[in-house]
């Protein structure tokens, strides 16, 4: 078990980001909460990371550590040189394709790398590419792929390293558009050149492909995924909560 703090000066508000209803926001009965198929708080200090809304628990690959978090007391810390990641095999709950679906994660990137993954469903074969959310140079990139593995759209937003950020990405079946928001910035929908695939690729946090590559070097948590709903600007602002997140 690894727990580190790395000298972070975190914005803590008594350790709590209140929802106003006394319980976790993901149980508040809203359309956003009801759309969740997985919510990973990353609060475990090692090994399996549990899904708080279902059974999509994440396998620890190569001993992923823990670090002081921003939203919750702990987040996960990935060391790229150790090939660390979290993953779960394909299942119906996590399947996407040509439907409304969305992803979100708090992340902190430590060092430069060619390509570093936050969250993906992107397998080793061309027909196992679904989506990829991660860092390329000074930007966060959200890309989707068709059923033969060709990229059909990308939404790109700049960010700064060595700080906590919040990403929300979605695919809308209406007009086949995708969009990405960083730190509650406005969505700028991008049209795709076709429908995204629904594949047998595993869902991975901190890496992509099989065997895994594109490892994240930094912190992630919490992370979440929803279906049959598109987050509104109000939803994103609710989750971002002025930069301290929502529990």
**Which tens digit of pLDDT belongs to each residue from 155-207?**
999 999 899 999 999 999 998 999 999 999 999 999 999 999 999 999 999 99
SS3 34: helix
pTM confidence score: 0.91
Measured in Å, how far apart are the chain's first and last C-alpha atoms?
Answer: 24
Flag whether pLDDT at 16 surpasses 60.
no
CA distance 188 to 173: 16
Q: What is the pLDDT of residue 63?
A: 97
pLDDT digits (tens, 9 = 90+) for 188-201: 999 999 999 999 99
Q: How far apart are CA 214 and CA 35, in angstroms?
A: 29
Quick check: 95 and 179 in contact, CB under 8 A?
no
Dump pLDDT digits (tens) for 96-129.
999 999 999 999 999 766 679 999 999 999 999 9
Place of tokens 């992630």: 220
Supply 8's token pair. Answer: 């972070």
Check pLDDT > 60 for residue 2: no
Of 199, 216, 198, give the one whose Cα is nearest residue 207. Answer: 216
Residue 221 has pLDDT above 90, yes or no: yes
Assign 3-class secondary structure to 152-190. EEEEEEECCCCCEEEEEEEEECCCCEEEEEECCCCCCCE
Cα 155 from chain centre: 15
Compute the C-alpha angle 140/84/203, nearest 5°: 60
């Amino acid at each position: 078990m690894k727990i580190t703090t790395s000298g972070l000066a975190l914005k803590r508000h008594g350790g709590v980001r209140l929802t106003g209803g006394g319980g976790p926001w993901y149980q508040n009965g809203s359309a956003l909460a009801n759309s969740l198929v997985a919510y990973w708080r990353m609060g475990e200090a090692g090994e399996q990371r549990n899904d708080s809304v279902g059974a999509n628990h994440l396998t620890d690959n190569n001993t992923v550590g823990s670090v002081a978090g921003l939203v919750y007391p702990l987040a996960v810390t990935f060391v790229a040189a150790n090939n660390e990641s979290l993953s779960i095999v394909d299942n119906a709950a996590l399947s996407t394709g040509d439907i409304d679906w969305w992803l979100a994660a708090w992340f902190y990137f430590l060092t430069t790398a060619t390509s570093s993954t936050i969250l993906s469903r992107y397998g080793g074969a061309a027909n196992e590419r679904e989506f990829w959310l991660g860092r390329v140079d000074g930007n966060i990139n959200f890309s989707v792929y068709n059923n033969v593995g060709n990229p059909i759209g990308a939404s790109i937003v700049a960010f700064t390293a060595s700080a906590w950020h919040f990403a929300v990405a979605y695919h809308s079946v209406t007009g086949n558009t995708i969009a990405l928001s960083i730190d509650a910035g406005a969505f700028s929908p991008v049209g795709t050149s076709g429908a995204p695939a629904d594949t047998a690729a595993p869902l991975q946090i901190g890496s992509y492909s099989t065997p895994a590559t594109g490892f994240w070097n930094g912190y992630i948590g919490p992370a979440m995924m929803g279906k049959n709903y598109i987050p509104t600007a109000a939803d994103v602002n609710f989750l971002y909560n002025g930069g301290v997140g929502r529990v």
